[in-house]
Chain A
Amino acid sequence: DIQMTQSPSSLSASVGDRVTITCRASQSISNFLNWYQQKPGKVPDLLIYAASSLQSGVPSRFSGSGSGTEFTLTISSLQPEDFATYYCQQSYNTPITFGQGTRLEIK
């Protein structure tokens, strides 16, 4: 199975900050990497697919980059509604696997 490791596991930041979350795969997954946002008690929402494509309707302050084994999700200027948990997911092969999540909290 491909292991997905996110860092950090949790992060405190302020509104307006630039934030970067890293996701590493245990083997190369090309650009088969997606990012989801989950707010407490809510369903995960797709933010970024294929490593760097912004899902329709997602604010442009979100961006993704990377290929191979290392990927990043960047929020250019944090907004109050961005405080949530973020998951990376590889879709390179089955079993599909997710990172353990990064909880983004208000400082």
Chain B
Amino acid sequence: QITLKESGPTLVKPTQTLTLTCTFSGFSLSTSGVGVGWLRQPPGKALEWLALIYWDDDKRYNASLKNRLTITKDTSKNQVVLTMTNVDPVDTATYYCVHRQANSMVRGVPNWYDPWGQGTLVIVST
């Protein structure tokens, strides 16, 4: 059974750096084809994709966040960490980590997110 759980601060001040950790079980990020991603959802709004890291350390980011994001993995700890610099109140959201799944180990095939972590609410405020 695959599970993921997000952890990190609930309250962050503007301009600070936010660090979120996704701790997972039931799979290994050293296995070909595996990926872990981060998404967020501001209160009452739609889902926004942030970043994804693959088993081979290939990383993809949402460029709209203007290079504020860094995603890293620690395979030995079964963790993926997302850092977001210079946070702003508009970054207030529930942040989710997700397991990327596909029917093939290669890239370029249909893929989807399942399961999701429970989410962690981050509030950016003074």
Contacts and interface: CB of A to CB of B under 8 A. Distances in A.
Contacts of A46: 112-115
A94 B111 contact: no
Contacts of A94: 49, 52, 60-62
Contacts of B37: 96
A43 B118 contact: yes
Interface stretch (A14-22, A74-82, A98-106): A98-106
Interface of B is mostly: strand
A31 B60 CA distance: 21
24 contacts: A31-B110, A32-B110, A33-B110, A34-B112, A43-B118, A44-B47, A44-B96, A46-B112, A46-B114, A49-B101, A49-B112, A50-B103, A50-B112, A87-B46, A89-B113, A95-B49, A95-B60, A95-B61, A96-B37, A96-B49, A97-B49, A98-B48, A98-B49, A99-B46
Interface of B: 37, 46-49, 52, 60-64, 96, 101, 103, 110-119
Interface of A: 1, 30-34, 36, 43-46, 49-51, 55, 87, 89, 91, 94-101
Given A1-B64, A32-B110, 17 more contacts: A30-B110, A33-B110, A34-B112, A34-B113, A43-B96, A43-B116, A43-B118, A45-B116, A49-B101, A49-B110, A50-B103, A87-B46, A89-B112, A94-B52, A94-B61, A95-B61, A96-B52
